[in-house]
Amino acid sequence: MRVHHHTTARMHLTVTTEDDKIVTVEVDPGTEVLNLKAILEAETGVSCQAQVLLHNGKELGDGSTLVAAGVGDGDLVMLLRRRQQASTARGSSNPTALHSDGSAVDPGAFQAQIRQDAHTMRQLESGNPQLHSAILNPDPSAMQTLLRMSHQARQQAEAARNAEIDLLNADPFDTEAQAKIEEQIRLQNVDANYETAMDTTPEAFGSVIMLYVDITVNGHAIKAFIDSGAQMTIMSLGCAQRLGLERLIDKRFMGVAKGVGTQKIIGKVHQAPISVAGVLMPCAITVLEKEQDMDFIWGLDMLKRHQCVIDLEKNVLRIGTIDKTCTFLGEHELPAFARPANGAGDGEKTDATNGGGGGAASGSGISSDPIQLAGDGLVGGNTDSNDQGAPAPAPGAAPADLESKVAKLVELGFDRAKCLQALASSDGNEEYAASLLFSGF
């Protein structure tokens, strides 16, 4: 008698997480969802209890099998973290639930929930330090007071806007009044759009630091700015002098570099002794006359010549010709001018952080910004309807000088507001501002 052994085909599932991590698992079709969660706990570090698995937009129940839930080979499953683990003392499943006066239903759970959200805590620390301190205070009474005052300020601002619209509507044939109504409605739409963005994509308001790597030039360690928008690899004459390369500058290659304004090219170092990840790499460097913040800009010519790949997933620069990788520097390792605290590379340090720099609530000492409490966190932002949210002028730049720089950037096809913001984030440096704009700032 011949015995036939039947084997069940295995399934390969792709699981994505909230932090964009991708995990591939191989399971049987009859595997229970709870067992799949146990596998994913080992792979992602997210506990089974905290996992929410979605397939085609529907949550997979722990008691069902994968095949019964309609999961097939090669399907995509999303893993979300369950943020609301326990009910509050009043029976609510939302730790950030609020009373009608704006205070928290369960202050303790509210504080714990906000403290766990590092991004929101950073926003509060810079934009509303008083509320930030109140959330860290074990006594929730100060936080409750601030929440009520903020809620009251929002209500008053909304009532004032509505009263102004009612007043303007009193004469429907007044063209000036109609224009003001249109602007009020536009600002309300902008506020609503801003609040939605803060709720759904808060990461877009975070700091974005530029890409730097450590290299050695002629035995001197420097930090190189990786700029795929720069046609040439460049350094300033002052940097060349400090690195002992001035003697190698070929002045037959003098010229003019055109971009945002112009700069004089005093020559070229045809083969500079550059070491990356301990390996010597040949590199030609164009030397500019004007001193600049960035000592060394690794441009597209060098990126292409050495078959470089900017790998943002792994946060490294892969160099094909020498088969090496360089890890991009962290914020604390950047040059002082490039750190977000000084404005460079940080869109959150302009007035946009505070929603255009609206005033504080009268007598409260706190911002009158609306405070959004949706889903699993608190996010705040100023939506003063009388402020257009224009970025602050670049620090240290005289108005005439600033206008000249803005005009040059606008000539490149960028929006004026974006140009102002880029200049503010680069301390008035035209070249760095242009690099920010070309990189999608």
Identify whether residues 30 and 119 lie together within a single domain.
no
Identify whether residues 219 and 321 lie together within a single domain.
yes
Question: Per the structure, how many domains does the chain have?
Answer: 4
Residue 245 lies in a domain: yes
Identify whether residues 192 and 248 lie together within a single domain.
no
pLDDT surpasses 50 at 175? yes
Identify whether residues 194 and 223 lie together within a single domain.
no
Residue 341 lies in a domain: no
Residue 371 lies in a domain: no
Identify whether residues 241 and 325 lie together within a single domain.
yes
Instruction: State which of 203, 228, 244 marks the end of a domain.
Output: 203
CATH number for 425:
1.10.8
pLDDT surpasses 80 at 148? yes
Residue 111 lies in a domain: yes
Residue 396 lies in a domain: yes
pLDDT surpasses 80 at 106? yes
Residues 230-255: what's their mean pLDDT? 86
Identify whether residues 219 and 197 lie together within a single domain.
no
The tens digit of pLDDT for each residue in 34-77 reads 888 888 888 888 888 888 888 887 888 888 888 888 888 888 88
What percent of the chain has pLDDT above 90?
2
Identify whether residues 239 and 194 lie together within a single domain.
no
Of 106, 117, 191, 227, which residue is the catalytic one?
227
Identify whether residues 318 and 422 lie together within a single domain.
no
pLDDT for 322 equals 87
CATH number for 63:
3.10.20.90
pLDDT for 309 equals 92
pLDDT surpasses 70 at 90? no
Does residue 106 carry a catalytic annotation?
no
Residue 47 lies in a domain: yes
pLDDT surpasses 50 at 371? no
Residues 373-392: what's their mean pLDDT? 37
Who has greater pLDDT, 360 or 217?
A: 217
| DSSP code of residue 172 | T
Residue 382 lies in a domain: no
To the nearest 10°, the Cα dihedral for 360, 364, 366, 372? -100
Identify whether residues 56 and 127 lie together within a single domain.
no
Tokens of 73: 């080979």
Q: Does residue 70 contact residue 55 with C-beta atoms inside 8 Å?
A: yes
Based on the number of CB atoms within 10 Å of its own CB, is 193 exposed (0-12), middle (13-18) or buried (19 or more)?
exposed
Based on the number of CB atoms within 10 Å of its own CB, is 316 exposed (0-12), middle (13-18) or buried (19 or more)?
middle
**DSSP letter string over 46-97?**
--GGGEEEEETTEEPPTTSBTTTTT--TT-EEEEEE----S--TTS-S-TT-
Q: Look over the chain and give the mean of its residue pLDDT values, rounded to a whole number.
A: 74
CATH number for 255:
2.40.70.10
pLDDT surpasses 50 at 354? no
Instruction: State which of 203, 237, 264 marks the end of a domain.
Output: 203
Q: What residue numbers bound the domain in which 68 lies?
A: 11-81
Identify whether residues 325 and 242 lie together within a single domain.
yes
Handedness of CA 259, 261, 266, 269 (dihedral sign): negative
Regarding pTM above 0.75, the answer is no
Identify whether residues 186 and 234 lie together within a single domain.
no
Residue 66 lies in a domain: yes
Confidence of residue 372 (pLDDT cuts 50, 70, 90): very low
Identify whether residues 168 and 236 lie together within a single domain.
no
Instruction: State which of 181, 203, 225 marks the end of a domain.
Output: 203
3-state DSSP call for residue 230?
coil
Based on the number of CB atoms within 10 Å of its own CB, is 423 exposed (0-12), middle (13-18) or buried (19 or more)?
buried
